Amino acid sequence: MRSLKYVFILILSMIVMTGSIFAGTEKNIKKSFDVSYGGKLSLDSDLGSIKVNTSNSEVVEVEIKLYAKANDEDDAEEIFEDFDINFNHSGDNVKIDADYRKSKSWFGNWNNKLKVKFIITVPSNYNLDLSTSGGSISVSDIKGKVDAKTSGGSLEFAHVMGELNGKTSGGSISLDKCDGDVDVHTSGGSITIGEVKGRVFAKTSGGKISVEEVMGQIKASTSGGSISAAISKQPEADCELKTSGGSINVKLSNNINAYLDARTSGGSVDCDFPVTVRGKMKSNRLEGKINDGGPQLYFRTSGGSIIIREIN
How many whole angstroms separate alpha carbon 306 and alpha carbon 251?
A: 11
Tens-digit pLDDT profile for residues 212-251? 999 989 999 998 899 999 999 999 999 999 998 899 999 9
How many whole angstroms separate alpha carbon 152 and alpha carbon 171?
A: 7
The domains of the chain are located at: 25-145, 188-312
How many whole angstroms separate alpha carbon 193 and alpha carbon 168?
A: 15
C-alpha separations of 160 from 163, 164, 180, 306 in Å: 8, 7, 8, 31
| CA–centroid distance for 55 within its chain | 22
More confident residue, 18 or 76: 76
Tens-digit pLDDT profile for residues 281-303? 678 999 999 999 999 999 999 98
DSSP 162-220: S-EEEEESSS-EEEEEESS-EEEEESSS-EEEEEESS-EEEEESSS-EEEEEESS-EEE
Average pLDDT over residues 116-133: 97
Q: CA 83, 114, 31, 161 torsion: positive or negative?
A: positive
What are the respective helix, strand and coil percentages of the chain, to the nearest 5?
Answer: 10, 55, 35
A 10 A CB-CB count for 306 gives 26
| CA–centroid distance for 243 within its chain | 20
The β-bridge relationship of strands 59-68 and 25-34 is antiparallel
Residues in the chain: 312
Q: Which helix (H) or strand (E) holds 131?
A: strand 127-132
C-alpha separations of 235 from 190, 254, 293, 296 in Å: 24, 13, 12, 9
- 76 pLDDT band (50/70/90 cuts)? confident
Instruction: Report the SS3 class of residue 143.
Output: strand
Instruction: Report the SS3 class of residue 13.
Output: helix
How many whole angstroms separate alpha carbon 192 and alpha carbon 51?
A: 19
Give me the pLDDT at residue 37, please. 97
pLDDT at 17 over 80: no
Tens-digit pLDDT profile for residues 34-58? 999 999 999 999 999 999 999 999 9
Tens-digit pLDDT profile for residues 87-123? 999 999 999 999 998 644 444 444 578 999 999 999 9
Residue 241's nearest CA partner among 214, 277, 290, 202 is 202
